């Protein structure tokens, strides 16, 4: 077994044992892994691997975005903006049992078709529905599980960076068209949505959740007149998406090289939380300020929200970088070359492997490291190239719900103030395993694609 695969197994085992068996703070395990894993590359490389991983984590935009969304959530909790939005959403969807859960799923699906990012997807949809979910009867762990799981729809629906990456695979290019893969992945996203409806229905029945709106509720028009201005918060998500995708950036990029560089410098993960924070302050900044006696009080109350998640994300992202640098992709190729398995078992092994790798790595990093060889192996055992490509993308989208290093997971926990290890098993049982099964059914042709 090569150093990359060995490091991955040790990393997962250390995280699970530390959190589940020892019941210690998971940040400690993540920090310890950053010290241990570089030595899998040898004593001569350990220091450079560690320093490179630290530099990578400090420059990784997901780390900034996750902390920015935690800060945004903190501001929302101390403002009237969220209250106004919840009044609107409650009136629109409150007559449904599980209304906020269906709203979160719908928002996540729509955002998935725009942004293609799991972490901003979970953050945006979760910011509007986290408190609403808990107010309607969802336990905070259940709410965090749904928000993180729905975050995966960012990569589960096209377009996404993962889709364009797969289109460049040697066994995909020239065989599968861009339009064909786009439409097929959209259909697969709908399969994922149907499964989420099953999960929501289960929780609604288990918690005996009732509609939040009674027959004598205020008319919709009255509610919008009172609270409609708070919907401007959505512009914090709409504007960055419009400026980074679609005809607007294409138009400005065509004007000149300077404009092209400027549009290329816009980062969705950076500007989405920044703009939403600015809108919150514009809408209700004075009221937010009144919640604190001064800057010292503000910082004291903010630090507990940021410190744990910030430290955990930093060490986990750094450890993930070490695993990639140790040659995880080469180790996987070598391992599979030594196996002689049936097509069904081979497909199962490949999909499970991708789901495991998606735990510490992002969906894009997962497909970058083991995607090419995985698709080649699936096609080699008789899987249709389009079905194989979609199956890989579906499994990679579990990154949004895969412990221990999912950005969406930590954003969801930040929004609901949930201890991350408490939702590890629910996420695995309700999202990682079922979605991997969906991918297997797609690869086998049992779930049809257009």
Cis preceding-peptide flag for 159 (omega within 30 of 0): yes
Per-residue pLDDT of the chain (450 residues; tens, 9 = 90+): 788 878 877 877 787 677 667 777 777 887 888 899 899 888 888 899 999 989 988 887 667 776 777 787 778 778 887 677 767 766 777 677 888 898 888 878 876 665 556 777 787 788 778 888 888 889 999 999 999 999 888 778 876 767 777 776 767 777 787 778 888 898 999 999 999 999 999 999 898 888 765 545 677 788 888 888 888 877 877 787 778 766 888 888 888 888 888 887 777 667 877 888 898 899 888 888 888 888 888 888 888 777 766 776 788 778 878 877 887 667 766 766 676 667 788 888 889 988 887 777 667 667 766 777 788 788 877 889 899 999 999 998 887 677 776 778 888 888 888 888 888 899 999 999 999 999 999 999 999 998
Q: Where are the domains of the chain?
A: 61-308
């Amino acid at each position: 077994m090569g150093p990359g695969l060995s490091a991955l197994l040790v990393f997962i085992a250390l995280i699970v044992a530390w959190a589940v068996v020892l019941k210690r703070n998971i940040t400690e395990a993540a920090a310890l892994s950053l010290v241990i894993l570089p030595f899998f590359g040898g004593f001569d490389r350990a220091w450079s691997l560690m320093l490179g991983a630290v530099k990578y984590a400090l420059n990784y935009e997901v780390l900034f975005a996750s902390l920015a969304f935690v800060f945004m959530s903190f501001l929302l909790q101390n403002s009237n903006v969220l209250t106004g939005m919840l009044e609107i959403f409650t009136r629109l969807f409150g007559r449904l049992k599980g209304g906020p859960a269906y709203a979160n799923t719908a928002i996540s699906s729509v955002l998935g078709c725009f942004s293609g990012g799991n972490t901003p997807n979970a953050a945006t949809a979760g910011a509007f529905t986290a408190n609403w979910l808990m107010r309607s009867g969802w336990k905070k762990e259940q709410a965090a599980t749904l928000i993180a799981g729905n975050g995966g729809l960012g990569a589960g629906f096209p377009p996404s960076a993962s889709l364009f990456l797969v289109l460049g695979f040697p066994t995909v290019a020239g065989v599968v068209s861009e339009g064909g893969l786009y439409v097929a992945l959209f259909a697969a996203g709908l399969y994922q949505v149907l499964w989420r409806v099953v999960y929501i229905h289960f929780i609604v029945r288990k918690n005996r959740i009732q509609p939040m709106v009674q027959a004598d509720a205020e008319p919709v028009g009255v509610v919008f007149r009172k609270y409609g201005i708070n919907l401007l918060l959505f512009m914090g998500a709409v504007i960055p998406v419009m400026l980074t995708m679609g005809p607007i950036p294409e138009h400005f990029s065509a004007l000149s090289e300077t404009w092209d560089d400027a549009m290329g410098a816009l980062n969705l993960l950076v500007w989405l939380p920044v703009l939403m924070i600015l809108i919150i302050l514009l809408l209700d900044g004075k009221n937010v300020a009144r919640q604190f006696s001064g800057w010292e009080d503000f910082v004291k109350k903010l630090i507990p929200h940021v410190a744990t998640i910030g430290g955990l994300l930093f060490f986990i992202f750094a450890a993930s970088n070490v695993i990639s640098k140790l040659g995880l992709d080469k180790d996987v190729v070598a391992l599979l070359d030594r196996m002689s398995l049936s097509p069904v078992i081979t497909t199962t092994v490949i999909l499970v492997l991708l789901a495991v790798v998606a735990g510490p790595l992002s969906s894009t990093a997962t497909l970058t490291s083991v995607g090419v060889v995985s698709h080649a192996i699936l096609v080699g055992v008789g899987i249709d190239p389009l079905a194989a490509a979609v199956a890989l993308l579906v499994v990679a989208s579990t990154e949004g719900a895969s412990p221990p290093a999912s950005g969406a997971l930590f954003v969801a926990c930040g929004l609901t103030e949930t201890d991350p290890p408490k939702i590890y098993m629910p996420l695995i049982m309700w999202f990682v395993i079922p979605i991997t099964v969906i991918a297997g059914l797609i690869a086998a042709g049992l779930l049809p694609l257009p």
